[in-house]
Structures are given as structure tokens and as C-alpha cells.
Amino acid sequence: MKNIGRLIAEIDDFIEHVLKSFLFLFLFAMVAIILCNVFLRYVFRAPFYWAEDLSKNLMVWIGLIGSQIALKRGLHVGLSFFVDRLPFFISTLISCLVKLFLLIFVIILFKEGINSAFFVKNQRWATLNISMFWVYVSVPTSSLFMAFTLIRQLFMDVQNYILPFNKGTSS
């Protein structure tokens, strides 16, 4: 069981590393495009006509990739005022239930994101001349990574908190 947990953790850490690299690349590209476009607009009065749309698309990807990293690090907003006052085992069970509901949500988000991406695959951005599929596919992509992170967190919670507690009460 520990080997499976270690493998899942290594894969999840690798995914985070790759996503942080893409996040840096997309953020750098977005800032460079915006700064270049501002310069061209005010100095030469001739901005790139596609810069705003590309920046918006990069922002969508940045937000969704960032949400997966925030999920992994526990940085999303949470209301833990009452849960923190409960006994440890009960608060851990509630945490697992919340993660399970989140997992169900991101699975639904993945399915609906795939449907939306394929629904708009024939539509093209007028300024970029690319399929809108490439923006819409960001939703199922980030959902897939979030699902993997939630599975890892659930696996670790059960392995580290639930199973040891049950072993301790049965003897």
C-alpha cells in the first residue's frame, strides 16, 4: 500500500513540476505580449490585432493551471472554523468527504468540459485563426489534473489517518 502511495505521490509531484513550468511559460508570454502591444500602440500607433485575444486565452489557462496547484497546496478558500473544533478523527472524515465531493465535481467538470471543447471545435477565433477548442480544452485538462491530486490526497488521508485509527481501536 505504501508503494502505491509513493508512486502516486511521485507522479503528482512530476505533474506539478510540469504544470508550474507551463504556468511560468504562459505567464511570461502573456506579460511579454501585453507589454509589446502597449509599446506598439502608444509609440507606433499600430498594435498587434491578435494580442488581446491571445492574452485572454493565456489567462484562462493560467487560472486553471493555477487552480490545480492551489488545490494541491491547500490554498483554496475554506471554512474550517467548526471543523477545526471537532475531534481529529471526525474532522479527518469530514475532510475526506469534502475531497470526495470535489472529486465528483471535477469528474463532472471534466466530462462537460470535453463536451464543450468538442462542441466548439469548428469555431475559430477571428483574430488568431485557431480553433476555440484550444481554449475550451483547458477545462477538462485542469479537471483531470485536479482529479489526480484529489485521488492522491484521499489515498494519503485514508492511509495516514483513517486506517491507523481503525487499527488502534480494534486491538
Which residues, in sequence order, are CB contacts of 165 under 8 Å at separation 6+?
Answer: 89, 92
Rounded CA-CA distance 82/91 in Å is 9
Q: What is the dihedral of CA 57, 109, 4, 12, to 10 degrees?
A: 20
Residue 132 phi, psi dihedral angles, 5° rounding: -70, -10
pLDDT tier at 166 (50, 70, 90 boundaries)? low
Residue 79 C-alpha cell reads as 471554512
pLDDT tier at 5 (50, 70, 90 boundaries)? confident
pLDDT tier at 171 (50, 70, 90 boundaries)? very low
Contact 147, 113 (CB under 8 A): no
User: Is the pLDDT at 169 greater than 60, yes or no?
Assistant: no
Rounded CA-CA distance 109/166 in Å is 34
